[in-house]
Amino acid sequence: MITQASLSYATLIQRPPLWALAGTIIAVAFYVRAVIGFGSGLISVAVLTLIFPIKEVVPVVLLLDLLGSTLLGAYDFREICWPELRWLIPGSVIGLALGSYILADTDAQNLTRFLGIFILAYVVYALVLKPEHLPQAGLPWGMPLGIFGGIVGSLYGGGGPPIVAYLQMRHLDKRAFRATFQGIALTDNVLRALIYVALTLLTWQLAVGFLLLIPPVLLGLWAGNRLHMRINQRAFLMGTLAVLAAVGIKYLIP
């Protein structure tokens, strides 16, 4: 079994099978991202860390997510619901700062279990009511759920679940949902990239290794976007809940 191989440019270019394996994982992750708007970070980190060191995986996946958010955001730019972002982005920034403080002074494992329970409770709630019949959330709810998402982003590398719950309860159509999520994801990605650079977690070798993984990202986004345009709204909503359920289960497993 291959363990602890480097995700750097030098290793990937010298070991094509590793490059192909990492590329396949990335392509699948970004296929899911294009179909439902989120999930690439969770899938990439969960699988790539079985092969590569987590301290290398997280910064590289962050760059890949930054690329994915930029491309999807640009593609769907006209579909972005700006009023949502006016509440979500300030909340997310506050949450990222709070999450950094919590991470420094608290055992994050207990918080992980709480997050898993919260996500699964929401999934059950949404399934019982049916996603299309969820109550309408007011715009101001974007602030507390943005803060919650920012905290989750600081602790676990992606604040998707609380933001997904909020956008579902805003009853956006699938394209607007995906576009708006990219706006908040882009904010999160840029802030965390600056933190990683400041902490020297993002090295030159990893940055060049990221360049080798751009083609799989583009392939996954292209293929996933084709499905996104074809599925109906209910299939889209059920897909988001399925990914949320997988996230919740993952957070409950030590």
Contact 192, 61 (CB under 8 A): no
What band does 158 get if pLDDT is binned at 50, 70 and 90?
low
Helix (H) or strand (E) holding 195: helix 174-198
pTM equals 0.81
DSSP codes joined into one string, 211-234: HHTHHHHHHHHHHHHHHHHHS-HH
Q: What is the pLDDT of residue 67?
A: 93
Q: Higher confidence at residue 172 or residue 247? A: 172
48 vs 30, 45, 157, CA distance in Å?
14, 5, 14
Calculate mean pLDDT across residues 69-73: 91
Calculate mean pLDDT across residues 88-114: 72
Calculate mean pLDDT across residues 19-30: 92
Calculate mean pLDDT across residues 60-64: 88
What band does 1 get if pLDDT is binned at 50, 70 and 90?
very low
Q: Look-up: residue for tokens 């996500």?
A: 119
Q: Higher confidence at residue 66 or residue 113? A: 66
Q: Look-up: residue for tokens 């360049």?
A: 211
> Does residue 50 surpass a pLDDT of 90?
no
Q: Which tokens in the block code for residue 33? A: 């991202």
Number of H helices and E strands in the chain, helices first, is 12, 0
Question: What is the SS3 assignment for 164?
Answer: helix
Q: What is the pLDDT of residue 39?
A: 80
> Does residue 154 surpass a pLDDT of 70?
no
Calculate mean pLDDT across residues 109-130: 78
Residues comprising the chain, all counted: 254
H-state helical runs in 76-159: 82-105, 108-129, 142-156
Q: Higher confidence at residue 1 or residue 164? A: 164
Q: What is the pLDDT of residue 220?
A: 95
Calculate mean pLDDT across residues 123-128: 85
Q: What is the pLDDT of residue 119?
A: 82
Cα distance between residue 65 and residue 186, in whole Å: 8
Calculate mean pLDDT across residues 70-74: 91
Count Cβ neighbours within 10 Å for each residue of 17-43 and write b for 16 or more, e otherwise. Answer: ebbebbbebbbbbbbbbbbbbbbbbbb
* Average confidence score pLDDT of the chain: 83
What band does 254 get if pLDDT is binned at 50, 70 and 90?
low
> Does residue 106 surpass a pLDDT of 80?
no
